[in-house]
Amino acid sequence: MSTVISNAVNAVATLASISTVDKVGRRTLFIEGGAQMFLTQVIIGIAIAVKFGVSGNPGELSKGFVDGLLACICVYVAGFAWSWGPLGWLVPSEIFPLEVRSAAQSINVATNMIFTFVIAQVFTTMLCHLKFGLFFFFAFWVLIMNIFIYKYLPETKGVPIEDMHTIWQKHPFWKKYVLQDKGIAMDKEGHDDV
């Protein structure tokens, strides 16, 4: 039943993301969802540490404890489903110039799949060794992800794809890595106008 509940939360939160992403912006959803994910990972880690300890034997689990964990998991799933889940695919499609978009998206998809595969392979081993510490491990990485978004990702809401180069040129960090426009006029085929 808990799987049905968390999957329903996932579906509803993804629909919420679809309806709000252009109103509130990508950065806002990333940061809010990341904060939600971080806090619930920490809360779940603490709850399991207190109840299970390092022995892994919780004794009798009360209905309130189980319901509380399920609620935290649902809050985590909702945070992921309206932020990092869908936006991890949307934002990369918006930030790359047309000339490299397909190659960049291919790299994005491959990287995502590789890390998903690696985490799936090592998760059980990590859980056996880290126990409740696994939640703190993932909370740490969610925090790093949020800091990265806060410092390095420009808002792409309402920005036409053709204007992304200008956004990168004006960004406090990325501007030193982006070629500045030299004022060369291009015709529709991309050739210099002479």
Digit-coded pLDDT (tens) for 64-79:
999 999 999 999 999 9
Beta carbons of 101 and 62 less than 8 angstroms apart: no
Which tokens in the block code for residue 166? 């200008």
Residue of higher predicted confidence among 21 and 186: 21
Please tell me the CATH superfamily of domain 2-160, with its number.
MFS general substrate transporter like domains (1.20.1250.20)
Query: What are the boundaries of each domain within the chain?
Result: 2-160
Distance separating alpha carbons of residues 10 and 158, to the nearest angstrom: 26
Q: What phi and psi, each to the nearest 5 degrees, are found at residue 105? A: -65, -35
Average pLDDT, the chain: 91
Q: What percent of the chain has pLDDT over 90?
A: 79
Distance separating alpha carbons of residues 140 and 142, to the nearest angstrom: 5
Evaluate if residue 194 carries a pLDDT over 50: no
Question: What would the pLDDT profile of 85-95 be if each residue is shown by its tens digit?
Answer: 999 999 999 99
pTM: 0.86
What's the Cα-to-Cα distance from 128 to each of 33, 56, 59, 122, 162, rounded to whole Å? 28, 9, 18, 10, 49
Amino acid at 53: G
Evaluate if residue 144 carries a pLDDT over 70: yes
Amino acid at 116: T
